[in-house]
Amino acid sequence: MKRFLIYILILSGFSLQGWAQKEKVRYYQDVDKKLIHFGFTIGVNTMDFLTFHANPPRNTDSLYANVNHLLPGFNVGIVSSFRLAKYLDMRFLPGLSFGQRDLNYYDYNQGTIYARQKIESAFLEFPLIFKYKAKRINNFRPFVVGGLNYRLDMASRRKYNPDKGKFVRLQQSDLYHEEGFGIDFYLPYFKFTAELKVSTGFRNILVTDPSLEHPEYVTALERLRSQIWILSFHFE
């Protein structure tokens, strides 16, 4: 009887060890073997400005501008992924993104809001991104991304609009550098990806020629750089 129990315990131990070492079923493995594959992406964003002022606050009676509240926007696009190496992909993700930035102007002396400029943007985007992937663990894989994104703002104004109180204009185009990270989740019929990245423009996008009616909105600023935070969901 004792020998029988010992045999049962030994066999149970081998069975448990084999069960513990057994990997889960790996879904959708073919996607990583393809030279090129496609998909689509949707997501949300928040648009911001990096503001640089013409005068230091302590020596001027002019205005101070800043974005205090980030507003949600959204983006859609197409995914084209080219496998360069086992752990490296090059990705082209053309699309559209929409958002708004409220630029608040403050009086230096009184500390009160002088005015607000609502600036809406509708971008055509042409990002070229490199994706470095870690080793796949069962059905997920972390990664980091980095690259460049050329954006064309279709909502930028060619002229000021005093009737609607629009006294700030932006350059139509800019080149952004982008960095981020995310996780790939492998499902039975497709790959789902959650990705967070920050995109920062290189150039001064402020049109420095002020309006005749209210030049203070432009002269209070030395330059503006665009910055966008993006949470994307890819389906490939």
pLDDT for the residue 18 = 47
Domains, in order of start, for the chain: 40-235 (2.40.160)
Q: Consecutive sets of 10 residues in the chain, 236 residues long: mean pLDDT of each?
A: 41 43 78 94 97 64 81 97 96 97 84 84 97 96 98 89 87 97 96 98 94 87 95 98
Q: What is the C-alpha separation between 116 and 125, in angstroms, rounded?
A: 27
CA separation for the pair 53, 155 (Å, rounded): 24
**41, 56, 62, 64, 140 from 59: Cα distances, Å:** 48, 6, 9, 12, 55
Q: What pTM did the predictor assign?
A: 0.84
Rounded to whole angstroms, how far apart are CA atoms 169 and 236?
A: 38
Say how far residue 17 (Cα) sits from the centre of its chain: 44
For 72-91, give the DSSP string.
Answer: EEEEEEEEEEEEEETTEEEE
